[in-house]
Chain A
Amino acid sequence: MRKQLMILAAVALVFGAVNASAATQATNTNTISPTLKINVTVQDAIQLTLSTSAIAGSCTVNAGGGADYNVSFGTVDALGINPATCGSLYAPTTPGVTNSAYYSAYVLTPVYTSQAVATNTVKAYVSTNFAKANLSVVYSTAAPAGIGSLSAMGTTPATANTLLTNAVSGTAQTQYVGVEVAPTNGSATYTGADSAIVTYTLTVI
């Protein structure tokens, strides 16, 4: 027992010979080991971006311009006389009776992280419609085979259209959006510049 106490005392003396006023500095030794504590709070996150499609001729999707993004179809008419400045044009099936359509591919990229589930939807509706009655927003979730493949987009949250279901986070998804021009005539103004706003909603459920 006495011998053990002596050994303990000797060990204490050895360690006591190192004079450390803090873990950041010391004397009579050749090493020092300060520590750095890293604090963090992880949050779940969700993101939906729009971008220009790589498909040749697609309309450019720009940031800003009165909304988060903007795209311009240029000059359009109900007979499809003006060529598409970008994207594609469907001339009316029956000129003067049916609509023409100017449309383009674009890309939706939903991203979500730290969500308890991966199931999700991306929906869209026209939150601010064109002022002119002869204009409407159309969409397609796949490359349209014809003007009939383009559907009118809902104009209220309740009638929002589902564009994507269970999209993989971070995966770019090609979608289509366009403007149909009706051959409407009358006393109202049907010509001139106009714009509409589409609201997209990504929800991880």
Chain B
Amino acid sequence: MKIVRQQTNGHPRLPQVGTNSRPRKAGLFPFRFLPAVLALLIAAIISSNAKAGVITIALSTAPGGVTVSGAQPTYSAGFGNVNSLGIGSPAAGVTIITTGVAGGVIYSTNLNLTLSGEPTPHAATFSVYMSSNFSKSAALIAQSCYTGCGTGTSYSTISLNSGAPTPIVPLPGVSDGTYTISLGLLVADANGAGATTGTDSATVTFVATDTSNGKTSSVTLNLNNPSENLQTAVGLTLASAAGGLSVAPGADYSMDFGSVNGIGASPAAGLTIVPAGGGVIYSTPYLLQPVFSGFASTTATLTVYVSMDFVHPAILQLDDSAAAGGPYTAISKLSGAQTSITSTVVTNTILTRYLGLFVSGVNGPSAFTGSDSATLTYTLTVP
């Protein structure tokens, strides 16, 4: 018996003709319910997965963090230019942490880890390991943090062992949701034979583990977008010494000897008078702190010269000494033959040096009173 479905316009639908010319048993399936059925099926599948403990984690860009590219289960991001002194501006989404960090700095960024499919009341922990470590593993050390990530003490070095990953979110774990974690890159301070520079990359694997049934989900983050570029860095800071004149930040620094005279009467606080032929020397201690990293050399040279002399050089002269009592020697005025302060300084050494201002006591037509200034340029060079 052929069934002809009656159409609403009153015309009967003709049976299809062809190899499969049997009329469809359209009347046996209610196609108008197809969307609802599909929805029920999907819900049933999800419910089934949830009941089975099939969890999924995904990575995404966190507010204020680096951009995470890719899709589950493979992502990429990177820290870009880094150095162990934290000098310069970090890449967008990266912050430099120096507090609680010894032997370098931590470049840190936030990442979002999203957990889904976790059946109630199950919970999951997050852990991480280096599935491919940096080749410059002594200088670039990946770390992770979940809470209190503003200080280096909250970071843990990420395990190189997939069998013993580093916990990020430990027991009792968390339920479905998005969690912001910090991925840190400790850039270790090093000079000498072990120092290295250049680009590098690594791969980090994040793992979510259902604490009830042990099922896991993992994603990888390739730290190659952009690659990490380990750079050399140098810095030289000047600072006030106890009992000395204040060294104020300026362009770049400034120091004010105040009112001086050829007798040495009434020196300002922070100044001591050292007798000198034809006048006096006003002396003050100050501090020099050179820092450098990523160099094959472990020592550097530190020089100084008068890059802009006083307008009255016959009256005023800048002297240098290693000791308060002297001897004081006139600082060179030649950039090509600068006064050497040290040729063997190591990084992070705080040097106490004494800057002397010789004031001539000359009288007569060549005498001078009034304000004057000069500029010293210090140069730190790592060979």
Interfacial residues, chain A to chain B (CB-CB below 8 A): 19-47, 111-118, 169-170, 204
B258's closest neighbor in chain A, by CB?
Answer: A41
Query: How far, in Å, is B365 (CB) from chain A's closest CB?
Result: 7
Query: How far, in Å, is A1 (CB) from chain B's closest CB?
Result: 34
A30 lies within 8 A of B361 (CB): no
A45 lies within 8 A of B262 (CB): yes
A113 lies within 8 A of B361 (CB): yes
| Residue of A30, A40, A117 touching B382 (CB-CB under 8 A) | A30
Expressed in whole angstroms, the Cα–Cα distance for A113 and B264 within the complex equals: 10
A contacts with B: majority SS: strand
A44's closest neighbor in chain B, by CB?
Answer: B369
Stretch at the interface among B11-19, B35-43, B107-115, B230-238: B230-238
Given contacts A32-B234, A38-B318, A43-B260, A26 and B252 within 8 Å (CB-CB): no
Expressed in whole angstroms, the Cα–Cα distance for A115 and B361 within the complex equals: 9
Expressed in whole angstroms, the Cα–Cα distance for A130 and B359 within the complex equals: 42
User: Considering the complex of A and B, which 7 residue pairs feature the smallest CB-CB distances, nearest first?
Assistant: A113-B262, A45-B261, A113-B361, A25-B235, A34-B252, A45-B263, A37-B254
Number of residue pairs across A and B with beta carbons under 8 Å?
Answer: 194
| Residue of B81, B234, B372 touching A42 (CB-CB under 8 A) | B372
| Residue of A36, A43, A114 touching B375 (CB-CB under 8 A) | A36
Please give, as numbers and ranges, the residues of chain B lying within 8 Å of A22 by CB-CB distance: 252
The reply to whether the CB of B34 lies closer than 8 angstroms to some CB of chain A is: no
A39 lies within 8 A of B254 (CB): yes
| Residue of B231, B251, B373 touching A40 (CB-CB under 8 A) | B373
A42 lies within 8 A of B89 (CB): no
Expressed in whole angstroms, the Cα–Cα distance for A45 and B264 within the complex equals: 9
Query: How far, in Å, is B285 (CB) from chain A's closest CB?
Result: 14
A37 lies within 8 A of B364 (CB): no
| Residue of A27, A37, A42, A118 touching B261 (CB-CB under 8 A) | A42
Please give, as numbers and ranges, the residues of chain A lying within 8 Å of B233 by CB-CB distance: 25-27
Please give, as numbers and ranges, the residues of chain B lying within 8 Å of A111 by CB-CB distance: 263, 361
Expressed in whole angstroms, the Cα–Cα distance for A169 and B371 within the complex equals: 23
Given contacts A31-B382, A34-B238, A36-B378, A42 and B315 within 8 Å (CB-CB): yes
Query: How far, in Å, is B133 (CB) from chain A's closest CB?
Result: 24
The reply to whether the CB of B10 lies closer than 8 angstroms to some CB of chain A is: no
A30-B383, A35-B251, A42-B312 known; 18 other A-B pairs, CB under 8 Å?
Answer: A24-B235, A26-B233, A27-B87, A27-B234, A30-B381, A31-B380, A32-B234, A33-B380, A36-B254, A36-B375, A36-B376, A37-B251, A38-B355, A41-B370, A47-B265, A113-B360, A113-B363, A118-B363
Q: List CB contacts (< 8 Å) of B278-330 with chain A.
A: 279, 291-292, 295, 307, 310, 312, 315-316, 318
The reply to whether the CB of B83 lies closer than 8 angstroms to some CB of chain A is: yes
A26 lies within 8 A of B87 (CB): yes
Please give, as numbers and ranges, the residues of chain A lying within 8 Å of B380 by CB-CB distance: 31-33
A40 lies within 8 A of B367 (CB): no
A23's closest neighbor in chain B, by CB?
Answer: B252
The reply to whether the CB of B374 lies closer than 8 angstroms to some CB of chain A is: yes
B365's closest neighbor in chain A, by CB?
Answer: A116
Please give, as numbers and ranges, the residues of chain A lying within 8 Å of B375 by CB-CB distance: 35-38
The reply to whether the CB of B94 lies closer than 8 angstroms to some CB of chain A is: no
Expressed in whole angstroms, the Cα–Cα distance for A36 and B251 within the complex equals: 7
B253 lies within 8 A of A35 (CB): yes
Query: How far, in Å, is A43 (CB) from chain B's closest CB?
Result: 5
The reply to whether the CB of B336 lies closer than 8 angstroms to some CB of chain A is: no
The reply to whether the CB of B255 lies closer than 8 angstroms to some CB of chain A is: yes
Q: Quick one: which of A32, A46, A204 has the most chain B CB within 10 A?
A: A32
Expressed in whole angstroms, the Cα–Cα distance for A99 and B75 within the complex equals: 112
Query: How far, in Å, is B220 (CB) from chain A's closest CB?
Result: 30
The reply to whether the CB of B362 lies closer than 8 angstroms to some CB of chain A is: yes
The reply to whether the CB of B30 lies closer than 8 angstroms to some CB of chain A is: no
A sample of 15 inter-chain contacts (CB < 8 A) reads A21-B88, A26-B233, A30-B292, A31-B379, A36-B238, A37-B374, A37-B375, A39-B371, A41-B258, A41-B259, A42-B316, A45-B261, A115-B364, A169-B361, A170-B361
